[in-house]
Amino acid sequence: MRYAKSDLCQLGWMSCVGCCGHHFKDKLSVAKGIEKNTLEMHSYIKHGRPLKEWMNRSKDRRDCGLCHNIVYDHKKDLLYCPCHPEVNQGVDLRIDHHYCDILHVCKTAFFFGLWDDARKGEFISFLKKRKKAGGLDWYSYSVGMANDSLLAEFEGLKWD
């Protein structure tokens, strides 16, 4: 494995793309970027063009700050990177790709990896409660993971 794996990137009911870009403009512009990426990917697939060609179609991030490779799976209602080894039969097409830091792990994911199962369960429950209350969606989850605010909020609850 040549990348930093985290169980928090894809929870099955929530996706994080916090490290798949920088300085996100706002939720709407990022959502439009994801929509554009998704349509472009489907066009490449429809015309039988290789995934690697689609992945390398741009060397820059979108104006909204997002990577050109983050797409939406409408069947699973999740965001993902088709170049990631977890969804690409173990092949990591992100290696040496522009702006893709495959060794990055956010502070929250780092600490999550060190916690025991009970503490991990508490954190997942915290996230589910936030989502159920309407205070957590893909964008706020991604930003909250990237800027450590979800970790800070969770840790703050531990001291109340």
Please report, in angstroms and rounded to a whole number, the separation of the first and last CA atoms in the chain: 39
User: What average pLDDT does the chain have?
Assistant: 86
What pTM does this model have?
0.84
Q: Report if residue 42 sits inside a domain.
A: yes
Are residue 94 and residue 115 in the same domain, yes or no? no
* pLDDT tens, position by position, 22-58: 778 899 999 999 999 999 999 999 999 988 888 888 7
Are residue 71 and residue 136 in the same domain, yes or no? no
Q: Report if residue 5 sits inside a domain.
A: no
Q: Which domain holds residue 152?
A: 105-160
Based on the structure, what is the number of domains in the chain?
2
Are residue 36 and residue 95 in the same domain, yes or no? yes
